[in-house]
Homo-oligomer: A and B are copies of this chain.
Amino acid sequence: MTGLPFPSMPEASRADAMEGFVRTHRARFEAALADVLPMPAGLPPALPQAAAAALGVKGHPGSRWRPLLTLAAAQACGGEDSAALPVALAVELTHTASLILDDLPSMDDSPLRRSRAATHLEVGTGGAILLALSLLGRSAELLGSIPDSGGALAAEWGGAFGIGGMCGGQAVDLTGAFADGGSPRRLHRKKTTGLSEFALKGAAIAVGASAETEAGLARFGRDLGWAYQLADDADDWVEDGQFGKGPAGRAPRRQSLRLLIRSLRTLRATPGLDAQGRVLLAALAERTAGATAGTPESEPDHERWGMTA
């Protein structure tokens, strides 16, 4: 990892610090997530089961990189993790809602999610839509109830998933208009970056960080979200056997790494973060975008990171 913008801590200690944070916070987060959606009496019983499966409360939980970044960012701002926990939960609920909707026959028509049948195969398309909306409703409750900053958080969140955010991006995705470049392409990225930006920015708002810290973390989250998406797409192409071995085929991975590096530079330039928190965020970012990107065996690390040692 030589050459990355955080050389001050030995890689091994950095990894240890991150693993410790992930272990502790992930356990707490999973426990909170399991109780986050109170089910009203009278609801068809298939819905609570489908909700638990979609959230990964039972079965495969997913990496939870977004909510972990939210908690780490709150800590890096010198805030309490507990203040950002409702933001972290809302981020994961909103992410899960987007997965349920993405898998619908009218969207990507995908039968599998998190190693299980997609939600609409369990409770029908109508049930899946209602479940996704319920996760969004609960997100609004969680965010709006945060003292002092609840209104600002709810407003930011609404923008993140609305027509200028995830929904607009997915609409461009559906029509394929992103291939034209320009404004459709920029809007298309918001499908992914809307929520990753909110995951970081929301932490700053919840703990009352300065506007400069908020803006820096927002930019960090935006670049990191897109870096993750490009790496993830590249992995899918490999699985599908569509990923070329030539220079053109490697372009998404290289772009992902460029964005990861830019996000780390932004992090270094963001004021109001403590040193330990900054290192933790950097390590989580590398894990998020880097781990997914994978490396052809023959490629040395310094080439993998797109720079010479």
A interface residues (Cβ-Cβ under 8 A, vs B): 37-44, 47, 101, 104-107, 124-127, 129-131, 133-134, 136-165, 167-168, 170-172, 174-175, 177, 182-188
| Of A105, A134, A188, most B-chain CB atoms within 10 Å | A134
Supply 12 A–B pairs (Cβ within 8 Å), ascending by A. A41-B187, A43-B184, A44-B171, A44-B175, A101-B133, A107-B129, A130-B170, A133-B162, A140-B140, A141-B154, A150-B154, A150-B155
Given A126-B174, A144-B144, output 13 extra A-B contacts at Cβ < 8 Å.
A40-B163, A42-B186, A47-B163, A131-B163, A134-B162, A139-B158, A141-B159, A143-B154, A144-B157, A147-B151, A150-B151, A150-B155, A154-B154
Judged by DSSP, the binding face of A is: helix
Stoichiometry (number of copies): 2
Tell me the bound Cα distance from A147 to B163 in angstroms: 23
Closest to A156 in B: B144
Tell me the bound Cα distance from A42 to B167 in angstroms: 12
Tell me the bound Cα distance from A183 to B154 in angstroms: 31
| A231 to B: closest C-beta gap in Å | 24
Instruction: Give me the 8 closest cross-chain CB pairs, A-B, nearest first.
Output: A150-B151, A137-B162, A140-B158, A144-B155, A144-B154, A42-B183, A154-B154, A106-B125
Tell me the bound Cα distance from A284 to B170 in angstroms: 40
| Of A39, A127, A131, A171, most B-chain CB atoms within 10 Å | A171
A127/B44 contact (C-beta < 8 A), A141-B162, A150-B151 known: no
Contact of A40 among B153, B168, B177 (CB under 8 A): B168
A151/B158 contact (C-beta < 8 A), A126-B104, A167-B130 known: no
| A202 to B: closest C-beta gap in Å | 12
Which residues in B have their C-beta under 8 angstroms from that of A152? 144, 150
Report whether A158 and B174 are in contact in the complex, using a CB–CB cutoff of 8 Å.
no
A177/B126 contact (C-beta < 8 A), A134-B167, A134-B168 known: no
Contact of A154 among B101, B140, B187, B188 (CB under 8 A): B140
Closest to A159 in B: B141
Report whether A126 and B106 are in contact in the complex, using a CB–CB cutoff of 8 Å.
yes
Report whether A127 and B171 are in contact in the complex, using a CB–CB cutoff of 8 Å.
yes
Closest to A184 in B: B42
Report whether B137 and A145 are in contact in the complex, using a CB–CB cutoff of 8 Å.
no
Contact of A43 among B151, B153, B168 (CB under 8 A): B168
